[in-house]
Amino acid sequence: MSKEKTLEDLFHDTLKDIYYAERKILKTLPKMKRAAESEELKSAFEKHHDETEGQIERLVKVFELIGKAPRGKTCDAIEGIIAEGEEIIDEFKGTSALDAGLISSAQAVEHYEMTRYGTLKRWATELGYKEAADLLGQTLDEESKTDSALTKLAIASANARAKKAA
Ligand code: FE
Ligand code: FE
Ligand code: FE
């Protein structure tokens, strides 16, 4: 028989998942920036790289608030999403469709993060971790704004450029 587990365990486990994912994303964003063709997309990736550093600090604070050491647990989902992004870079490098592809890859990352932070924020509230819920909510808002900014870039330029031949 396995030991009983609770919402508290799920919260801690999922926190380790997103902590792993954020650190992986921090390493990947400079590669996305280097790959991007347009200056706007490069600066969007750079801005989010800086935000991601702050998001990792918030997670460290949340671990502290629940009395646990900050530790990651391999997130297969983010590994897969990032591997797909790398495929896009390989297969669309040098073409007019690259930025539209990079935006779609980045949005897959933001959406994964939004599911994680949405759940974690709700669980933190239910577990009575008010300050943690607030920190997780701040990051959720940043991920959601990043997603919207990427949509705007796609509509304003990247998709139109992708429709034309290089
Ligand atoms: Fe993030
Ligand atoms: Fe995961
Ligand atoms: Fe993000």
Q: Separation of 26 CA from ligand 3 center, angstroms?
A: 9
Q: Separation of 165 CA from ligand 3 center, angstroms?
A: 31
- 58 falls within a domain: yes
Average predicted confidence (pLDDT) for the chain:
97
Residue 163 has a pLDDT of: 93
- 89 falls within a domain: yes
Residue 164 has a pLDDT of: 85
Residue 25 has a pLDDT of: 98
Residue 166 has a pLDDT of: 58
Q: Separation of 34 CA from ligand 1 center, angstroms?
A: 19
Residue 165 has a pLDDT of: 67
Give whole-number Cα distances, 84 to 10, 57, 79, in Å.
Answer: 28, 27, 9
Crossing angle for the helix pair 98-126 and 130-153, nearest 10 degrees? 160
Number of domains the chain contains: 1
Domain that holds residue 104: 7-163
**Sequence-separated contacts (24+) of 123-130 with Cβ below 8 Å:** 123/7, 123/10, 123/11, 123/14, 124/11, 124/62, 126/7, 127/7, 127/8, 127/11, 129/62, 129/65, 129/66
Ligand nearest to the CA of 22: 1
Ligand nearest to the CA of 111: 3
Residue 71 has a pLDDT of: 98
pLDDT 10s digits, 82-95 = 999 999 999 999 99
Q: Separation of 1 CA from ligand 1 center, angstroms?
A: 37
- 17 falls within a domain: yes
Which tokens hold the place of 92? 């669309």
pLDDT 10s digits, 41-98 = 999 999 999 999 999 999 999 999 999 999 999 999 999 999 999 999 999 999 999 9
Q: Give the model's confidence band at 1: pLDDT under 50 very low, under 70 low, under 90 confident, else very high.
A: low
Ligand nearest to the CA of 17: 2
Q: Separation of 128 CA from ligand 3 center, angstroms?
A: 26
Q: Separation of 118 CA from ligand 2 center, angstroms?
A: 13
- 2 falls within a domain: no
Q: Separation of 109 CA from ligand 3 center, angstroms?
A: 7
pLDDT 10s digits, 102-148 = 999 999 999 999 999 999 999 999 999 999 999 999 999 999 999 99
- 1 falls within a domain: no
CA 143 to chain centre: 7
CATH of residue 151 = 1.20.1260.10
Q: Separation of 97 CA from ligand 3 center, angstroms?
A: 22
Q: Give the model's confidence band at 2: pLDDT under 50 very low, under 70 low, under 90 confident, else very high.
A: confident
Residue 105 has a pLDDT of: 98
